[in-house]
Amino acid sequence: MMSCEILQEQVAIPVPEDGSIIDAYVARPEQPGKYPAVIVGMELYGVNAEIRDAARRVAELGYVAIAPNFYHRTLPNDSLPFGAEGRDRGFEHLHHLSRPTVIADVRAVINFIHARQDVSERTGFLGFSMGGHIAYLAATQFDIAACACFYGGWLVNTDIELSRPEPTASLTAGIAKHGGRLIYFVGELDHAVTREQREQLAAALEDAHVRHEMVVYPDTGHSFFGETRDTFHRVSRDDAWKRVQALFAEELYQDRHFSEKRS
């Protein structure tokens, strides 16, 4: 898809299960039309400038991108600074996220975004680190046609509430059930996703017959995507972004209407 001008807005999404309100950032092409939706899953630091930039990147390709604040119950309408303090506070908020509440949040976001007149049927998910875990979890529960999971941690263990009572990877068959396709991106030197964990995750995907790729970048650590980070790795980011574009184009623009739009 060619890049395009975009429109941006902040929205409020009610969660029926508990009456809470998700604050979310939305970016969409300026040109009128119906576009597939892509949910953008935030890192530990929340929906900050880096996550909003990722959402705009997605929108420029011809999608309605929405970045929900999954900390909305404990940190509404805010994000955290990069660095040790922000990281520590992020873990405090992370440990308040349970699997049922996050699933309820994703359901609310999907229902909200697909009620819009500018959104078509198919849904993708692009998630980073903690948001990568949420993207993977969402793909096991919902009709997520294309899932780009960047260095999602804690998928094969029960170290966080999101991965309890059983590891999220044990739910992998749900991805195949919904017919989704997933690409998992990770650096070979990632401190949060060890080689053993990568192998366990790859085995879960293989055993469940999920259409997937696991892309491991040499000499690359965690959080390599964001340009403002000292962990940024341009070669890996650029290659990953090309793969994300292809994944979304192939899986989210499949029917006749979209084919005509792209021609």
Sign of CA dihedral 223, 155, 252, 101: negative
pLDDT at 3: 61
Q: Give the strand pairing for 119-128 and 35-41.
A: parallel
DSSP labels for 3-52?
---EEEEEEEEE-TTT--EEEEEEEEESS-S-EEEEEEE-BTTBS-HHHH
pLDDT at 261: 39
Q: State the DSSP H helix or E strand holding residue 238, giving kind and residue range, or none if neither.
A: helix 234-252
Structure-token pair, residue 118: 């500018």
Buried b (16+ CB within 10 A) or exposed e, 57-78: bbbbbbbbbbbbbbbbbebeee
Please name the residue ranges forming H helices in 81-233: 84-94, 99-114, 130-141, 173-177, 195-207
Structure-token pair, residue 93: 């908020």
pLDDT at 57: 97
Per-residue pLDDT of the chain (263 residues; tens, 9 = 90+): 456 799 999 999 999 999 999 999 999 999 999 999 999 999 999 999 999 999 999 999 999 999 999 999 999 999 999 999 999 999 999 999 999 999 999 999 999 999 999 999 999 999 999 999 999 999 999 999 999 999 999 999 999 999 999 999 999 999 999 999 999 999 999 999 999 999 999 999 999 999 999 999 999 999 999 999 999 999 999 999 999 999 999 999 975 343 333 33
